[in-house]
Amino acid sequence: MTSLRNLLILVVLISGAALAYLSYDSTAQLEQRTMPLTEEVVKGKQVWQDNNCINCHTILGNGAYFAPDLTKIAVKRDQEWLTRFFKDPGEVWPGTVMSKIRLNVEDAENLTAFLTWVKDIDTNGWPPEPPGGKNPGQPQDGREPAGKVIFASKCSMCHRFNGSGGIAGPDLTNIGRERSREWLKSFLRDPQEIKPDSVMGNPGLGSEEIDAITEYLTS
């Protein structure tokens, strides 16, 4: 009987020791994964909140789907680009919807620090790549036509086409009959150059993407 009791005590002690070691090990790994929080990052988060960026954008899954997700934006854009953009979006991205949000130098730099900090968070591959992969302008192997994929991710929130899409802009179902391909391509390169009073922001597409969308809308 005593030997069984001793054995049980031993088992409890060993499990306890193992649990203590594993907890210690996980906490140590967690600490390694957390990036240092600087004063700029903290202030930048405040700028992010004060300007209601999540009314249009998502970050780490929170926010609205009107504008691009910004969790990994600092991978796509360097810090200089971001700071310039926050000071005067229209100068860097002519015609952008964001042209009215102009921040002072300090706020712009802190916001950039915040988004740079966010990009280093290990999100396990989230957000997923845009539909069509990293280069939606490239032809897709046997999947949806490239133009359709781009339209779905960059245009359909504002435009209807063949029965689905948003209503902020005109229905484009018959655009192939109303406008020539050349007109469409020039418009998508720079809406205001073709229609000076156009309220549509420059969609910032590459020429392959423009060709693909024009093909999709007119065929």
Binding site for ligand HEC (CB under 6 A): 51-53, 55-57, 66-68, 70, 73, 76-77, 82, 85, 93, 96-98, 101, 111, 154-155, 157-159, 168-170, 172, 175, 178-179, 184, 187-188, 191, 195, 198-201, 203, 205, 213
Q: Which residue has the tokens 């396990």?
A: 124
What's the closest the beta carbon of residue 95 comes to ligand HEC, in angstroms?
7
Residue with smaller CB distance to ligand HEC, 142 or 163: 163
> Could you tell me the smallest distance in angstroms from the CB atom of residue 70 to ligand HEC?
6
Q: What is the nearest approach in angstroms of ligand HEC to the Cβ of residue 74? A: 9
Decide: 188 and 201 in contact? Cβ < 8 Å.
no
Comparison of 148 and 179: residue with beta carbon closer to ligand HEC: 179
Q: 205 and 212 in contact (C-beta within 8 Å)?
A: no
Question: Residue 132: which residues within 8 A CB-CB, separation 6 or more?
Answer: 140, 143, 144, 146, 149, 150, 153
Query: Which residue lies nearer to ligand HEC by CB, 101 or 140?
Result: 101
Q: Could you tell me the two tokens for 199? A: 């309220």
> Which residue, 25 or 50, is less far from ligand HEC as judged by CB?
50
Task: Work out how close the CB of 41 gets to ligand HEC at its nearest, in angstroms, rounded to a whole number.
Answer: 14
Report in angstroms how near the CB of residue 92 gets to ligand HEC at its nearest: 9
CA distances from 212 to 133, 164, 175 (A): 15, 19, 15
- What residues contact residue 23 under an 8 Å CB cut-off, 6+ apart? none
